[in-house]
Amino acid sequence: PITYNAGIQNKVLEAMACATPVVTTPQATASLQLKPGQDVLVAEQPTDFAQQIVSLLNNPHQQYQVGQAGRTYVETYHNWINVAQRLEEIYREVIHEAQKPSMHLHNSYKS
């Protein structure tokens, strides 16, 4: 389990893209706009993880539903077109900021 947040969790997204139902921690989903219980199952304690996993193993329909919802989430929010558009936005913002006049700080002392 991922116990701290360090940006987007590619492991989670990769599993979801394969329609694999995911049980993970709140920290792993913090930077994602997931719907717990729908796109992904979330647990904090080991017993919660075990219960979620056993529930999936005993319920093929739930496996399918969570897996498909996760795949749909990835296809919708993390597809190449969206990623390229966001990257283009970032580049435009950087270029725009670079073209602004900058303030220069001058040393007021002499050696």
pLDDT in tens, 4-31: 555 567 889 999 999 999 999 988 888 8
Q: Is pLDDT above 80 for 110?
A: no
Q: Is pLDDT above 70 for 102?
A: no
Q: Amino acid identity, residue 9?
A: Q
CB atoms within 10 A of CB 95: 9
For helices 46-58 and 60-77, angle between their N-to-C axes, nearest 10 degrees: 110
Pairing of strands 41-42, 23-24: parallel
Residue boundaries of the structural domains of the chain: 10-99
Rounded to two decimals, the pTM is: 0.70
Least confident of 29-33, 38-42, 59-63, 77-81: 29-33
